[in-house]
């Protein structure tokens, strides 16, 4: 799965379908009657009860991430935040409330259905300092040095051109800006049969980098202190995620 456009189309199709499932659930999404149909044991219970109460039920239901980047990022009032691959908008809405009315939270997503869902969730939450943008994370539609903090939740691994993603992230960050992402990394190389399987790619497995690869790409993009990044340890680092058995993929 090395073709960028082909990979992007598969990812867009899968996550568009996930958004439609939440949209079609309607009021049922607020209770337990539909929850089990789209709940994933890898992506549930990542947000504490206070955060869960602070966003619409549909935003929580549509969260397909592997971590909680808002717990990694130290956001301050007045800052500008960008979420790469913002999905149903949960991390954007939570970030917007933390940066306050003098700050701004952008969500960037390529999937029309997710953007529709995110904008509905914004309307329900009543948060005004939010803007959802359509675009690819390899080509961020924002000016140079315009963002204080970039967050992302299990999305960078889905890109077939991670160098472009990280270079773009570095470009739009202000001097001294921060990167706080939760993502999947592997311990050892994945079998070639897994790398080539599109279902594993859209499930955040095949596109995952080894930890040292991630560090190298961050350094190449210009990020400082990338060598201190370690899975599940750094306060701004790549999170291990909770894919069962992901640490054994190289065995």
Q: In what helix (H) or strand (E) does residue 149 lie, and over which residues does it extend?
A: strand 147-153
What integer is the mean pLDDT of 63-89? Answer: 84
CATH architecture of 4-248: 3-Layer(aba) Sandwich (3.40)
The pLDDT assigned to 62 comes to 52
- Decide if pLDDT at 77 tops 90: yes
Please give the span between the terminal C-alpha atoms of the chain, in angstroms, as a whole number.
22
Weakest mean pLDDT among 12-16, 103-107, 215-219: 12-16
- Decide if pLDDT at 2 tops 90: no
Q: Which of 64, 39, 52, 251 is nearest to 157 (CA)?
A: 64
* pLDDT band at 238; cut points 50, 70, 90: very low
* pLDDT band at 201; cut points 50, 70, 90: low
CB 86 within 8 A of CB 105: no
Continuous H helices in 4-48: 4-25, 35-38
The pLDDT assigned to 69 comes to 76
What integer is the mean pLDDT of 47-54? Answer: 59
* pLDDT band at 53; cut points 50, 70, 90: low
CB 250 within 8 A of CB 186: yes
* pLDDT band at 134; cut points 50, 70, 90: very high
The SS3 assignment for 108 reads strand
The pLDDT assigned to 8 comes to 73
Kindly report the pTM of this predicted structure. Answer: 0.74
Rounded to the nearest 5 percent, the helix, strand and coil shares of the chain are 45, 15, 40
C-alpha–C-alpha distance, residues 236 and 45, integer Å: 20
Directed axis angle between helix 4-25 and helix 112-125, to 10°? 40
């Amino acid at each position: 799965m090395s073709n960028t456009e082909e990979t992007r189309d598969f990812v867009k199709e899968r996550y568009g379908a996930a958004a439609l499932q939440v949209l079609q659930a309607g009021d049922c999404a607020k209770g337990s009657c539909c929850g089990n149909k789209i709940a994933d044991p890898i992506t549930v219970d990542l947000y504490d009860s206070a955060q869960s109460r602070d966003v619409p039920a549909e935003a929580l239901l549509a969260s397909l991430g592997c971590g909680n980047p808002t717990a990694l990022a130290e956001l301050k009032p007045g800052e500008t935040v960008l979420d790469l691959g913002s999905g149903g908008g949960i991390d954007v809405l939570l970030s917007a409330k933390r940066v306050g009315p003098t700050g701004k939270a952008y969500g960037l997503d390529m999937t029309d259905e997710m953007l529709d869902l995110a904008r509905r969730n914004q309307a329900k939450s009543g948060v005004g300092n939010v803007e959802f943008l359509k675009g690819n994370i390899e080509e961020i539609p924002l000016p140079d040095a315009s963002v204080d903090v970039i967050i992302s939740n299990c999305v960078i691994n889905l890109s077939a051109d991670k160098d472009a993603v990280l270079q773009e992230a570095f470009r739009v960050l202000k001097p001294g800006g921060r990167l706080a992402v939760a993502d999947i990394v592997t311990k050892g190389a994945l079998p070639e049969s897994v790398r080539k399987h599109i279902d594993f790619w859209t499930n955040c497995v095949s596109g995952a980098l080894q930890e040292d690869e991630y560090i190298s790409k961050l350094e190449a993009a210009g990020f400082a202190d990338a060598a201190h990044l370690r899975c599940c340890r750094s306060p701004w680092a790549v999170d291990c995620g909770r894919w069962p058995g992901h640490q054994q993929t190289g065995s």
